[in-house]
Amino acid sequence: MDPLKQRIVLLGPPASGKGTQADRLSKTFGIPHVSTGALLRSECARETVLGREANEWTSKGLLVPDELAVRIVATWMQEHGAVFLFDGFPRTVGQAEHLDRALDHLKAPLELVVLLELPEQEIRRRILERLSCLACGATFSSSIHGYVQGSACPNCGAPLVRRNDDTEAALAQRLEVYNQLTLPVVSYYEKTALRILRRVDAGQGSDAIFAKIAVLVENKEGPANS
Ligand SMILES: [Zn+2]
């Protein structure tokens, strides 16, 4: 049996379903799902040395520097081992380069980068139609599920709302950050000698997307894949 891929990066624009897929892959394959946002918040909350350093940036509304973001991830790997599923990290080419160096040092190279692809028009539609349950985190589409603002969440009964950052203006900014910082990460992984980038159409249903990624994680893709 082929071994599973165990060092995985999941990239994709807003509303591509990265978090959902990462959770499901993590549960199915037992690979820890590491969200750098959550790591960062945890370091800050525990007031560790890294957390205090990060706080100097985040308290001003700035992104932490690439080197610091990777140091936080590297510290996590020292404690938990180099088996991970990163969701939305690396966000910049700088972070990708630092991560490669850290993994080189551990002699544990990245094995798979999955890019969830979604046309901009579909990203806009999903975000602007999205209703979220702030209590349980579930999200629904007003056009597909027929809910409106204030409908009761079918999971927990709390009211569904449109999140503050699901607006035209906030979306435009998130897309710009994605296009400027993260798309170059895609090119970076396309050019590495490892040839580990795979593209998956995120416009299909969640189950179909999951099945496609699972094939990649299980190392069962055909030789013709390019
Ligand atoms: Zn709910």
Out of 27, 101, 163, 195, the active site residue is 163
Give me ligand 1 centre to Cα 130, in Å.
14
Q: What is the DSSP letter of 179?
A: I
Model pLDDT for residues 92-111, shown as the tens digit of each residue: 999 999 999 999 988 999 99
pLDDT exceeds cutoff 70 at 159: yes
Q: How far apart are CA 165 and CA 193, in angstroms?
A: 38
- Name the one residue in this structure whose structure tokens are 């985190």: 137
Q: How confident is the model at residue 226 (pLDDT cuts 50, 70, 90)?
A: very low
Q: How far apart are CA 210 and CA 25, in angstroms?
A: 8
Q: How far apart are CA 209 and CA 17, in angstroms?
A: 9
Residue 204: CB partners within 8 Å, gap ≥ 6?
A: none
Give me ligand 1 centre to Cα 101, in Å.
41
Q: Is 124 a catalytic residue?
A: no
Fold of 7-121+181-217: Rossmann fold (3.40.50)
Q: Is 163 a catalytic residue?
A: yes
Task: Tell me the mean pLDDT in the region 116-136.
Answer: 92
pLDDT exceeds cutoff 60 at 221: yes
pLDDT exceeds cutoff 90 at 153: yes
What pLDDT score was predicted for residue 156?
A: 96
Give me ligand 1 centre to Cα 145, in Å.
14
Give me ligand 1 centre to Cα 161, in Å.
11
What pLDDT score was predicted for residue 213?
A: 96
The dihedral region occupied by 219, where left means phi > 0, alpha psi between -120 and 50, and beta the remainder, is: left
Burial class (CB in 10 A: 0-12, 13-18, 19+), 183: middle
What pLDDT score was predicted for residue 95?
A: 93
CB environment 142-181: b (16+ within 10 A), e (fewer): beeeebeeebebeeeeeebeeeeebeeeebeebbeebeeb
Residue 184, CA distances (Å) to 53, 93, 219 in order: 27, 6, 26
Out of 5, 7, 24, 91, the active site residue is 91
Burial class (CB in 10 A: 0-12, 13-18, 19+), 104: exposed
Model pLDDT for residues 51-86, shown as the tens digit of each residue: 999 999 888 878 889 889 999 999 999 899 999 999
Q: Is 174 a catalytic residue?
A: yes
Q: What is the DSSP letter of 159?
A: B
The ranges assigned to domains in the chain are 7-121+181-217
pLDDT exceeds cutoff 70 at 225: no
What pLDDT score was predicted for residue 222?
A: 65
Give me ligand 1 centre to Cα 160, in Å.
8
Task: Tell me the mean pLDDT in the region 33-40.
Answer: 86
pLDDT exceeds cutoff 50 at 24: yes
